């Protein structure tokens, strides 16, 4: 029998549609959501030919070596205002369940890091007027250093390859089920405990400064080089550490 969550809602992962190859699982999931697909529908692929990242970037991974995952969340309501913070928490917990001893941190707003390298990325695409969001996650599972594009080699990392995409999908279904329903206090506390930037120098389009943590709305708080307190929203800035 399918797992039922608080309020009688079905968990993520049912139904599940898998592609050997598709342009982008987020694009497939958005089409399904627009056509009325139910909450919890998950799309995965072995390979993407036009995987998308945040801020117009592309996302690539060798076939079968990453979890390429998109889930439909609906209906959207006020509880989901902190979804961009809740999703990387779920990815951290899912990854830590797959590999013992792993410790994930989050680089604002939602990159998942191990040490100083990126293990997973999150792309959330929402249509609030229609009441749905697609949660896209790319989690590197078995990618060897030389398999990353040369410009990412220093900045990207992967799990060791022991976990299959299937195991990773189930772990993420479960951890997302917990975190998308979590209350704001729990999300903020857990996110702050994994903050990879706090106390570090950062630069963005218009300045440099030291990251001081996040506000209760999920914005990044920075003390700028000129001594001003700056509030950065995720949509607006290209951040460099
Ligand atoms: C980022 O770090 O810029 C976000 C990367 C998100 C990549 C995932 S892979 C599965 C899903 N489908 C996409 O086209 N993008 C997301």
In short, whether 122's Cβ falls inside 6 Å of ligand 1 is yes
pLDDT at 231 over 60: yes
Contact 142, 99 (CB under 8 A): no
What tokens were used for 235?
A: 């949509």
Gap between the Cα atoms of 239 and 241, Å rounded: 7
In short, whether 40's Cβ falls inside 6 Å of ligand 1 is no
Q: Rounded to the nearest whole angstrom, what is the distance from the C-alpha of residue 50 to the centroid of ligand 1?
A: 10
**Beta-strand pair 111-114/105-107:** antiparallel
In short, whether 169's Cβ falls inside 6 Å of ligand 1 is no
- The CA-based angle 193-195-200, given to 5 degrees, is 135
For 26, residues 6+ apart whose C-beta sits below 8 A from its C-beta are 52, 70, 123, 125, 134, 136
- The mean per-residue pLDDT over the stretch 144-161 comes to 93
- The mean per-residue pLDDT over the stretch 168-189 comes to 97
Architecture of the 2-193 domain: 2-Layer Sandwich (3.30)
Q: Rounded to the nearest whole angstrom, what is the distance from the C-alpha of residue 237 to the centroid of ligand 1?
A: 18
- Ligand 1 atom with the smallest distance to the CA of 45 is 10
Position 240 scores a pLDDT of: 79
Structural domain spans, the chain: 2-193, 201-239
Whether the full predicted model's pTM is greater than 0.85, yes or no, is yes
Torsion sign, CA atoms 178, 127, 64, 157? negative
Gap between the Cα atoms of 99 and 95, Å rounded: 6
In short, whether 109's Cβ falls inside 6 Å of ligand 1 is no
Q: Rounded to the nearest whole angstrom, what is the distance from the C-alpha of residue 68 to the centroid of ligand 1?
A: 7
Position 1 scores a pLDDT of: 40
pLDDT digits over 30-72, tens only?
999 999 999 999 999 999 999 999 989 999 999 999 999 999 9
Q: Rounded to the nearest whole angstrom, what is the distance from the C-alpha of residue 225 to the centroid of ligand 1?
A: 33
Q: Rounded to the nearest whole angstrom, what is the distance from the C-alpha of residue 118 to the centroid of ligand 1?
A: 13
What's the CATH code, domain 201-239? 2.30.30
pLDDT at 226 over 50: yes
The end-to-end CA distance of the chain, in Å, is 46
Torsion sign, CA atoms 213, 219, 223, 225? positive
pLDDT at 115 over 50: yes
In short, whether 53's Cβ falls inside 6 Å of ligand 1 is yes
């Amino acid at each position: 029998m399918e797992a039922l969550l608080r309020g009688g809602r079905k968990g993520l992962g049912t139904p599940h549609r898998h592609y050997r190859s598709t342009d982008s699982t987020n694009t497939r999931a958005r089409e399904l959501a627009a056509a009325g697909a139910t909450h919890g529908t998950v799309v995965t692929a072995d390979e993407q030919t036009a995987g998308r990242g945040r801020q117009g970037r592309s996302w690539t991974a060798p076939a079968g070596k990453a979890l390429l995952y998109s889930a439909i969340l609906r209906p959207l309501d006020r509880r989901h205002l902190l979804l961009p913070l809740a999703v990387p928490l779920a990815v951290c917990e899912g990854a830590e369940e797959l590999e013992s001893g792993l410790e994930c941190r989050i680089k604002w707003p939602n990159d998942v890091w191990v040490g100083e390298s990126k293990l997973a990325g999150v792309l959330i695409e929402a249509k609030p007027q229609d009441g749905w969001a697609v949660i896209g996650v790319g989690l590197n599972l078995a990618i060897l250093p030389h398999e990353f594009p040369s410009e990412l080699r220093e900045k990207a990392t992967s799990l060791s390859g022991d976990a299959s995409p299937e195991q990773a999908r189930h772990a993420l279904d479960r951890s997302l089920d917990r975190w998308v329903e979590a209350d704001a206090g729990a999300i903020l506390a857990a996110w702050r405990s994994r903050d990879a930037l706090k106390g570090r120098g950062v630069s963005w389009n218009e300045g440099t400064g030291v990251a001081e943590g996040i506000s209760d709305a999920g914005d990044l708080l920075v003390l700028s080089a000129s001594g001003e307190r700056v509030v950065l929203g995720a949509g607006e800035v290209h951040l460099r550490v």
